[in-house]
Amino acid sequence: MEPSFFSLDEARQLLRAPLTALRHELHAHPERSGQEVETTRRLRALLSQPPFELLPLPVETGLVARIRGNGPGKRVAIRADMDALPVQEWAGNLLQSQVPGVMHACGHDMHMSFAYGAGLLLGRHRDSFPGEVLLIFQPAEETGEGAQRMVDAGVFERYPVDYIVGGHVKPELPEGQISVRTGPVMAALDGIRIDILGKGGHGACPHACRDPIVAASAVVLALQTVVSRTTEPSKTCVLSICCIHGGETDNVIPDRVVLEGTLRTVDREQRIACIDRLRTIAVSTAAAMGCEANVLIHRGMPLVVNDEGTTEICRARATALLGADQVTVLPVDTVSEDFSVFAQQVPGCFIHVGTRAPGTDFYPLHSDRFCPSDELLPLGAAIYAEMAMGLLHEREERR
Ligand code: NI
């Protein structure tokens, strides 16, 4: 196997101090989706000096920077997301958010540090690669809007790229392990809203009403068959009803019950089949109970699909950098990611970076206790830089 372009030793020596400082600053000052003003300001300050060059883009939050190599060649984008969540950080974490009720509970502070660190590493070796690397920092990943905002602002028209890479920290995976998967990586998300309309009245006189609460209950249970009876057992699929709203008091049957939930699918046919079936079940079950169901599907995020050729190169680079025993392939993730919006336009590879330290308790993403170790920062940066370098050096004939 070809040797790696970078080494973890070099990454640790060069990056441990600056990335730890940046990550601590970002972690202390989290901002919610679409409000990443200070985060943008901090990153702009860092990326307005060599080896970086800030590139103009008409967005309120988010930014793009470039590192040029030694001449013309391929262009590779490294993407990081910037937003935090409305979560109150657990007081026992090693790092502490200074903003009440807002926390980097999804590790986007890590992602920004990885991307910045990758830029520093690449910048140090800019004489040894052709082409250029773009760092894309996008806002509002959690709401599924940010990537689209960058695309709408013309990021790829102004700054076309041949490939895009990105990743997410993954607490289910041991610290320092990487998952590189070809094809579907993270599920498509559709939001579901079902309004069950009946006829309200006195709780003691149900015969004079059409009870939407009983109908909604039957609909929720019947919807459980969408996954178990519609989709191929070997394919990942999730349908969860997460909200039920209806009624005000204990003796009035309401007119309406609203159900809300989420559908996660891993291919187009499965998605269409599930939406079709859930509509039929909601409408028919409600009708059987004398009620009416209005079903609204809100398209959230498309499926993240890793391009085969791009992913092959990235896996080879990850293996060269970390060793084969540290590179694995996780099943498709039922969580969604708007990296998909970029990957629909440009061949992409999205990886997972394990964060679970040995002997520590498991806390999932979005938990108020999720706080990966700083030790991972140089590794994450090195893997991003290594993937970018592999793609920059890709031979023409492979395309
Ligand atoms: Ni996230």
* Same domain membership, residue 291 and residue 390: no
Structural domain includes residue 245: yes
CA 323 – ligand 1 centroid, Å:
26
> 177 and 323 in contact (C-beta within 8 Å)?
no
Instruction: Please give the angle made by the CA atoms of 119, 121 and 127, to the nearest 5 degrees.
Output: 100
C-alpha distances (whole Å) from 24 to each of 17, 90, 160 are 11, 16, 32
Last residue of a domain, one of 251, 282, 299: 299
Residuewise pLDDT in 10s, the chain (399 residues) = 789 999 999 999 999 999 999 999 999 999 999 999 999 999 999 999 999 999 999 999 999 999 999 999 999 999 999 999 999 999 999 999 999 999 999 999 999 999 999 999 999 999 999 999 999 999 999 999 999 999 999 999 999 999 999 999 999 999 999 999 999 999 999 999 999 999 999 999 999 999 999 999 999 999 999 999 999 999 999 999 999 999 999 999 999 999 999 999 999 999 999 999 999 999 999 999 999 999 999 988 999 999 999 999 999 999 999 999 999 999 999 999 999 999 999 999 999 999 999 888 899 999 999 999 999 999 999 999 999 999 999 874 444
| Residue 66: how many other CB atoms lie within 10 Å | 18
CA 336 – ligand 1 centroid, Å:
9
CA 102 – ligand 1 centroid, Å:
14
Element (H, E) at 327: strand 327-328
* Residue 398: predicted pLDDT: 47
* Same domain membership, residue 230 and residue 122: no
Helix (H, G, I), strand (E, B) or coil at 188: strand
pLDDT in tens, 183-200: 999 999 999 999 999 999
CA 337 – ligand 1 centroid, Å:
7
CA 108 – ligand 1 centroid, Å:
6
Residue 217's nearest CA partner among 282, 167, 304 is: 282
CA 26 – ligand 1 centroid, Å:
15
d(CA 316, CA 378): 19
* Same domain membership, residue 133 and residue 26: yes
CA 218 – ligand 1 centroid, Å:
34
* Residue 360: predicted pLDDT: 87
* Residue 397: predicted pLDDT: 40
Counting the structural domains of the chain, the total is: 2
Locate the DSSP E strands across 37-177: 53-55, 63-68, 75-81, 132-138, 163-174
CATH code of the domain in which 209 resides: 3.30.70.360
CA 80 – ligand 1 centroid, Å:
10
- The DSSP 8-state label assigned to residue 289 in this structure reads T
CA 168 – ligand 1 centroid, Å:
6
CA 109 – ligand 1 centroid, Å:
10
C-alpha distances (whole Å) from 281 to each of 153, 165, 205, 213, 393 are 40, 40, 27, 16, 52
Element (H, E) at 245: strand 237-246
* Residue 399: predicted pLDDT: 43
Q: How would you classify the pairing of strands 132-138 and 63-68?
A: antiparallel
CA 271 – ligand 1 centroid, Å:
22
* Same domain membership, residue 262 and residue 123: no
* Same domain membership, residue 100 and residue 26: yes
CA 71 – ligand 1 centroid, Å:
35
Question: Helix 108-124 crosses helix 37-47 at what angle (to 10 degrees)?
Answer: 10
pLDDT in tens, 325-334: 999 999 999 9
* Same domain membership, residue 308 and residue 286: no
Burial of 95 (0-12, 13-18, 19+ CB in 10 A): middle
d(CA 260, CA 254): 17
Structural domain includes residue 376: yes
CA 112 – ligand 1 centroid, Å:
11
CA 144 – ligand 1 centroid, Å:
10
* Same domain membership, residue 350 and residue 310: yes
Q: Which residues span the domain enclosing 268?
A: 188-299
Structural domain includes residue 203: yes
Q: How would you classify the pairing of strands 327-328 and 252-253?
A: unpaired
CA 106 – ligand 1 centroid, Å:
5
CA 134 – ligand 1 centroid, Å:
21
Structural domain includes residue 124: yes
> 274 and 230 in contact (C-beta within 8 Å)?
yes
* Residue 359: predicted pLDDT: 87
* Same domain membership, residue 155 and residue 57: yes
CA 235 – ligand 1 centroid, Å:
23
CA 354 – ligand 1 centroid, Å:
13
Residue 78's nearest CA partner among 309, 398, 391 is: 391
* Same domain membership, residue 340 and residue 249: no
Residue 155's nearest CA partner among 43, 68, 59, 72 is: 59
CATH code of the domain in which 22 resides: 3.40.630.10
CA 16 – ligand 1 centroid, Å:
23
Last residue of a domain, one of 264, 299, 334: 299
Element (H, E) at 292: strand 292-301
* Same domain membership, residue 284 and residue 330: no
> 161 and 78 in contact (C-beta within 8 Å)?
no
Phi, psi of 397 (to 5 degrees): -65, -15
CA 296 – ligand 1 centroid, Å:
26
* Residue 18: predicted pLDDT: 98
Residue 77's nearest CA partner among 158, 22, 169, 184 is: 158
> 109 and 52 in contact (C-beta within 8 Å)?
no
* Residue 227: predicted pLDDT: 96
* Same domain membership, residue 41 and residue 103: yes
Is the pTM value of this prediction over 0.85? yes
CA 347 – ligand 1 centroid, Å:
21
Two tokens, residue 33:
């989706």
CA 277 – ligand 1 centroid, Å:
30
CA 184 – ligand 1 centroid, Å:
17
* Same domain membership, residue 195 and residue 292: yes
Residue 382's nearest CA partner among 57, 1, 13 is: 13
Residue 176's nearest CA partner among 323, 320, 325, 326 is: 326
CA 54 – ligand 1 centroid, Å:
25
> 10 and 321 in contact (C-beta within 8 Å)?
no
> 346 and 278 in contact (C-beta within 8 Å)?
no
CA 84 – ligand 1 centroid, Å:
8
Structural domain includes residue 3: no
Structural domain includes residue 2: no
CA 142 – ligand 1 centroid, Å:
7
Last residue of a domain, one of 299, 331, 357: 299
Burial code of 154-175, b = ≥16 C-beta within 10 A, e = fewer?
ebbeebebbbbbbbbbbbebeb
CA 47 – ligand 1 centroid, Å:
23
